[in-house]
Amino acid sequence: MPNLSSRPRLPDHRGRATWGERIVPLEEFKRAAALAGSECDATWRAAAERALHAPVADGVPVEGPYRRIVLCGGVYSNHLALAALLDEARRLAADAVYCLGDLGGFGPRPEAVWPLVARGGVRVVQGNYEQALAEDAPDCRCGYTDPRDNRFAELSYRYTAAHCSPAFRAFLGALPARRRVRVGAREILLVHGSPRRVNEFLFESTSPVAFLETLCDRAAADAIACTHTGLHWHAALPSGRDVINVGALGRPANDGTPRIWFALIEERDRALAVELRPLGYDHHALAVEMRAEGLPEEFVATILSGWWTTCLEILPARERARSRY
């Protein structure tokens, strides 16, 4: 892990607000906003708040109940990491293994994960990659906005799309967009990006508690598990609920080590016990396969070093400050 004391300090914006290209005193921004807007009465505000927190029924059946489950996300064609995870899940006596989407992308030979998913009984949630490949979309729908991020995303998607058979695409298209699973007495909603959007990035530093509580309210769930960002984190909320980003199985967590991450979840004392666990695998063998397939050397460098060399521009300031590049 990086030395926290050596991280670059972020600018202190307390008491100030961003207004266009300027940073202004917060009170000045509030006065301008008050003049530009309109005041709503208390009845309207109360109704709007109730609507914001009202549960949204999705009709998704609840699977389980289980005693202990393993969750992973972002396999990214890394069949060696998936095989290692299935071995670890058996060692941990997990009742079920769930993948929260993005079986393909980044790594070599995307269909090599398919037989592992079948033999391991992995239950998969449809991510943006599954949706894009099944619909033969022009891009991966990753949600990047920076040209450099999108350039590498295009290289990854173009390679993956060229190596997916019609049968594999049909399998991806038939996967559910969300699943619900019961662990003990606790119900967990499984999604790829967020309950709101398949490619929404839920980063730890930009997901405040009030926002996460609202997501749980709307999802009518005791917990939400997601992926998409590639970085793992867990928020135990004041309400007793949990939001878990399980990270990615297919590439390191931008921490300078080649290990990958998954989540082990079980119920203890009527609460969810969440463990975010690192896992080693034969990353050198994966790098050899990637080079043989002509994938970008930047991708290979990430697998070997543990530092992201691509898709960095989407990272918020605090997550980017932990990066090497």
Taking only the tens place, the pLDDT of each residue in 116-156 is 999 999 999 999 999 999 999 999 999 999 999 999 999 99
Q: What is the pLDDT of residues 15-53, one digit of tens each?
A: 888 887 788 898 998 888 888 877 788 888 888 777 777
64-321: CATH class: alpha beta
What one-character DSSP code corresponds to residue 111? G
Asked if residue 307 has pLDDT above 80, the reply is yes
Q: pTM of the prediction?
A: 0.86
* Side chain identity at residue 260, one-letter code: I
Q: Annotate 73-83 with b (16+ C-beta within 10 A) or e (fewer).
A: bbbbbbbbbbb
* Side chain identity at residue 58, one-letter code: D
Q: What pLDDT was estimated at residue 12?
A: 55
Burial of 22 (0-12, 13-18, 19+ CB in 10 A): exposed
User: Following CA atoms 214, 216, 217, 220 in sequence, which dihedral angle do they give, to the nearest 10 degrees?
Assistant: 160
User: Following CA atoms 188, 189, 194, 195 in sequence, which dihedral angle do they give, to the nearest 10 degrees?
Assistant: -130
Q: What is the pLDDT of residues 209-251, one digit of tens each?
A: 999 999 999 999 999 999 999 999 999 999 999 999 999 999 9
The Cβ of residue 297 has, within 10 Å, a number of other Cβ atoms equal to: 12
